[in-house]
Amino acid sequence: MSKLTHLDAEGRARMVDVSAKPATAREATAAGFVRMSPATLALAQTGQGKKGDVRAVAEIAGVMAAKRTADLIPLCHPLALSKVEVTVEAAEGGLAVTARVKTTGPTGVEMEALTAVSVACLTIYDMLKAAEKGMTIGDIRLLEKSGGASGDWSAP
């Protein structure tokens, strides 16, 4: 098992020191899914819900969340993000959410991509809960990342 970087020799939580790491181009893509009934999906697709355009609001919420990741996840570094792209698309059984995040810096953007997807999914739920409280959020995962000392990675 690899050594956990957020724990010191005594097992205490710590923020990783990235000051000596070179700034490199980094990118990460994450995805998630909000499962819902066909009627709720149809409502989401019209853009006419009580709270407005579900997809547009969720995409903006995801972008905003990526930029605030260090405020939400205790040991994440605040990063200057160069790109955040969140898309919400209709799919079989619900709405699929994807986020792609880029930066040039000493640490990766996996957490920013995952945070963007998570908050976009929660926003979809919030905007549609009046129509269906039984929606489920799931399958939030990292799809791929590139850059940094650990190199490129893609989900199998």
CA–CA separation, 23 and 17 (whole Å): 13
CA–CA separation, 70 and 112 (whole Å): 8
Q: Which of 53, 126, 139, 152 is catalytic?
A: 126
Active site residue 126: yes
User: Nearest 10 degrees: CA dihedral of 43, 92, 97, 61?
Assistant: 10
3 state DSSP class of 45: helix
Contact yes or no for 152/145 (Cβ under 8 A):
yes
Q: What number of H helices and E strands is found in the chain?
A: 4, 5
**Cα–Cα nearest to 37, from 125, 134, 130:** 134
**Cα–Cα nearest to 34, from 97, 83, 82, 107:** 97
Residues labelled as active-site residues? 126
